[in-house]
Structure 1
Amino acid sequence: MSRPTVRSITLPALLAALILVLTACSSSSGTGASGDTLTVQATNGQIQVPRNPTRVVLLDNTAAETVQAMGVTPVAVPKGLLAKSKFADWIDDPDIADVGSHNEPKMEVIEDADPDLIIAGYRFAKYTDDLTKITDQTGGATLDIAASDDAPGGRQEALLRQTTTLGEIFGKQQQAEQINATFTKQLDAAKAASHGQTVFLSIVSGGKIDNGAKRLGPFVAPLDLKDVFAGKAGDHHQNSGLTPEAIAQANPQWVIVMDRDAAVTSGGDRPTPAASVFAAQEAFAGTEFMRNDHVIYLDPEFYVREGIQSYGQSYQQIADALGDAA
């Protein structure tokens, strides 16, 4: 069979070919896509990310639920760090490799997964250089777009940007817009319901009630709530020495509780629910928050979920509680 000469190619065929070329060259978005890759401004620089990657290693908790919502199944995840109620399918799937935790990540497992994209950052941020070496070998990319408290605009704006970027990468722009719209509505509801109420930001860890402002302060920052301890808190991994009596003396109108015990306890151990820990405190008997049932217990897995869905649902929970008490 003879090959067609230049003269035998019709004008319509030439136009069709030209359109395909122009389409491929101009498939750009607000974040700078080009061809089969997308240029993303990330914490680790401007990264060329493949569009619609098929072998994704997902390390960042803050992105996990959004990636899942977009129908993406990763090839490797840190199974011990995922919320069991949300990711049971991933955790139980033998075809999804377990990379361990951020304390001892299994780099060989990540390398064997042959990733074309590693969604890194957050708890795994210190391993970015090591992960980049892996994707340099596979021809993929390591991307840190984790939502952080010190990002421009705070974690809230970072969550919105992260969702938009993931939508671009996986071709789910419309879904990303819907996720962001839902979150914005929930955050706005909490803003509208908060008007200067005093609050204690609490963490239950090791069966004890402590100051959780380090983790929850940025969470409530967009709201008009007054922290009775002015945001002062130590590392949530350590006991600050705050006593129930000191909390009772501060007598906040509201308490917002993050139950770290429920999120990190594994195996057969059953942590004492945060509500039971609060109910057992004799010092709280005469407080305004206990008398009025003004204790908001966040999702027990809030500590490990941490993404836009978790934040949005928690804002709605706060909006509903404050609204009902108005």
Structure 2
Amino acid sequence: MYSYIKVKFLVLLAVLLVLVGCDNKKEQQTSANTLTIEHAQGKTDVPENPKKVVVFNTATLDIMDALNIPVTAVPQSDVHYPTFLSKYGRKDYTNVGTLFEPNYEVLSSIQPDVIVAGGRATDAYKKLNDIAPTISLDIDPNNFLSSLTQRTEQLGSIFNKQNEAKKLIADFNQKIEQLKTKTTTAGTALVIMVNGGKMSAYGSKSRFGFVFDVLGFQPATIFQEAGRHGNAVTSEFILSVNPQWIFVLDRDNAIGNKEAQSAQQVLDNELIRKTAAWQQNHIVYLDSSSMYIAGGIQTYSRLMDQIGIALQSEPAH
């Protein structure tokens, strides 16, 4: 009798160990199919290579497009995508509201695997995360290049595009190094945005500090506060710092406002004409739509192409 009970106990123990082993194997498999992503809002576990992807952050969409990562839904209401991202305005993609205000009803019906927030949708993070795992892959302007590299690598890991991400980063860095051989001796520069007929300037470590922090242009002046909205400036101020280069963004043009004065009209005045930048034909009107709306790796690659062409041009006489 004792032997029978002992045998039965050993059989039950063996079965239990097998079941526990299966459970552990299942847990390890689940763990292997998720990634913990550190982002601007914390840490989030996301599925590896998710299929239903919603993107609110246009800078991240810029990088994802460069990596040929499939996207299910994007904001399309009141969004003016730059030319190279214009396909995301088509009906091929589900419209999930605006860049600031997600359509939660549509989002719930999609049942996304992951949502990419951040950017203008930062305040909506909690509600979005209640619908699906949400990550905010914002690029840090204080550490632009390392942050952009990290975000590109993270996207490569999530979507099994590691090799593509590595090449994209290498090509981007190579373009920087080639351009820096000319920019570091090109003289002083000022980056300004024109909005509603008024001007604001951006310096190092700011939203548009790439020109200084990465490319190596010398700032025409040092601003105490970077500020997302820049520092209000006038034509008198611009003449007083007298930059050799002026890089211009036209916000009204970027958002499709046809009623405001163009940046060219605002800058065409007696004071700006006296600057070294004007006299040397060194006022460069940037692709405002991509810089203001997007702002990922393709945007800044295109910016470098534009500045490279400007640096090759002979000054006007």
Per the shorter chain, which TM-score range?
0.7 to 0.9
Structure-1 residue corresponding to 2:99: 101
The equivalent position to 1:317 in structure 2, one of 306, 309, 315, is: 306
Are the counterparts in 1 of residues 193 and 251 from structure 2 also a CA contact under 8 Å? yes
Whole-Å separation in 2 of the counterparts to 1:261 and 1:215: 17
Displacement of 1:265 in angstroms is 2.2
Q: Which residue is 2:207 aligned to?
A: 215
2:83, 2:301 → 1: CA distance? 17
Q: Secondary structure at the match of 2:191?
A: strand
* Cα shift readout 1:58-116 (whole Å, capped 9, x = no counterpart): 011111122223333423212234524123322121651232231x3322222222111
Q: Which amino acid in structure 2 is aligned with residue 317 of structure 1?
A: Q
Aligned position for 1:114: 111
The 1:235/1:42 distance shift into structure 2, 3 A limit, reads: closer
Q: Report deviation, 1:50.
A: 0.9
Q: Which amino acid aligns with 1:223?
A: L
Q: Is the 8 A contact 1:132 1:142 kept in 2?
A: yes
TM-score (norm 2): 0.79
Aligned partner letter, 2:193: I
Where does residue 65 of structure 2 map in the other structure?
Answer: 68
Gap change, CA 1:235 and 1:205, over 3 Å in 2: farther
Letter in 1 for 2:97: V
> Identity of aligned pairs, percent?
28
1:76–1:99 CA contact under 8 A, matched in 2: no
Where do 5+ consecutive residues of structure 2 fail to align? Answer: 1-24
Q: Quick one: which amino acid aligns to residue 85 of structure 2?
A: F
Quick one: distance in 2 between partners of 1:60 and 1:125? 9
The aligned runs of 1:136-215 (5 Å cut-off) are 141-150=133-142, 154-195=143-184, 197-213=187-203, 214-215=206-207
Structure number with greater Rg is: 2
Partner residue, 2:287: 299
- Aligned 1:47-62 pairs, distance under 5 A: 47-62=44-59
Contact 1:164 1:177 survives alignment (8 Å):
yes
Match of 1:9 in 2: none
Residue 225 (1) aligns with residue 217 (2): yes
1:13-52 CA distance string (max 9 Å, x none)? xxxxxxxxx9x969xxxxxx95222222222333221122
Q: Shift of the alpha carbon at 1:250?
A: 1.9
Distance in 1, matches of 2:305 and 2:242, equals 24
Q: Which amino acid aligns with 1:162?
A: R
In 2 relative to 1, CA 161–223 (structure 1 residues): closer, same or farther, beyond 3 Å? same
Matched residue type, 1:286: K
Return the alpha-carbon distance in structure 2 between the equivalents of residues 284 and 109 of structure 1: 49
Q: Which amino acid aligns with 1:164?
A: E
User: TM-score, length-normalised on structure 1?
Assistant: 0.77
